[in-house]
């Protein structure tokens, strides 16, 4: 998977997790708070990734922005794996399998390997939409 596909995959994961807000409401308050914190952390990380992508769009040779984007995507993958672990006992196997499959497509290096995909074409709108979905999930879990 190329760097350009990553925002689409992240948005897909965000949409999926957000659809589960009702199912997650049955979790105890402590678990919901933990998932809400993770959703908020993912949203903040997505926002930083979007800022790095904007910098890369303006200056494709900006190595610091590329490293920052790589770092944020790695962090997002880690957060999502932890989130799936927390949700494992609260969602059916089919739902978890879908998210796990999407996470595997992201891969820790696969999404960012090689300079063949110009980072300037990253879909910032998808990163921002995914950020919004995770913020909405956090809000729903705190309500």
Q: What is the pLDDT of residues 76-86, one digit of tens each?
A: 878 877 777 77
- Quick check: 42 pLDDT over 90? no
Does the CA dihedral 42-48-51-57 come out positive or negative? negative
SS3 assignment, position 116: coil
Backbone angles phi, psi at 60, to 5 degrees: -60, -20
Axis-axis angle for helices 124-142, 6-19 (nearest 10): 20
- Quick check: 38 pLDDT over 50? yes
Tell me what the mean pLDDT of segment 17-43 comes to.
80
Give the whole-number percent of the chain exceeding pLDDT 90.
9
Q: How far apart are CA 83 and CA 56, in angstroms?
A: 29
Tell me what the mean pLDDT of segment 25-33 comes to.
83
SS3 assignment, position 26: coil
pLDDT of 117 reads: 47
How many Cβ atoms from other residues are within 10 Å of residue 93's Cβ? 9
- Quick check: 91 pLDDT over 70? no
53 or 126: which leads in pLDDT: 53
SS3 assignment, position 143: coil
- Quick check: 61 pLDDT over 60? yes
pLDDT of 3 reads: 57
Most confident of 5-14, 21-30, 87-96, 116-125: 21-30
pLDDT band for 112, please (50, 70, 90 cuts). Answer: very low
Please return the burial class of 110, using the count of CB atoms within 10 Å of its CB with bins 0-12, 13-18 and 19+. Answer: middle
- Quick check: 71 pLDDT over 80? yes
């Amino acid at each position: 998977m190329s760097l350009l596909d990553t925002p689409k995959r992240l948005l897909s994961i965000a949409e999926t997790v957000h659809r589960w807000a009702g199912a997650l409401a049955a979790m105890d308050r402590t678990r919901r708070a933990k998932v809400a914190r993770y959703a908020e952390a993912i949203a903040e990380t997505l926002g930083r990734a979007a800022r790095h992508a904007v910098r890369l769009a303006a200056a494709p040779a900006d190595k610091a922005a590329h490293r920052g984007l790589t770092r944020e995507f790695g962090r997002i993958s880690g957060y999502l794996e932890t989130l799936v672990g927390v949700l494992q006992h609260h969602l059916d196997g089919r739902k978890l399998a879908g998210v796990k499959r999407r996470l595997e497509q992201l891969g820790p290096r696969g999404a960012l390997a090689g300079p063949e995909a110009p980072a300037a074409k990253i879909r910032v709108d998808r990163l921002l939409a995914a950020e919004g979905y995770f913020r909405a999930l956090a809000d729903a879990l705190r309500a």
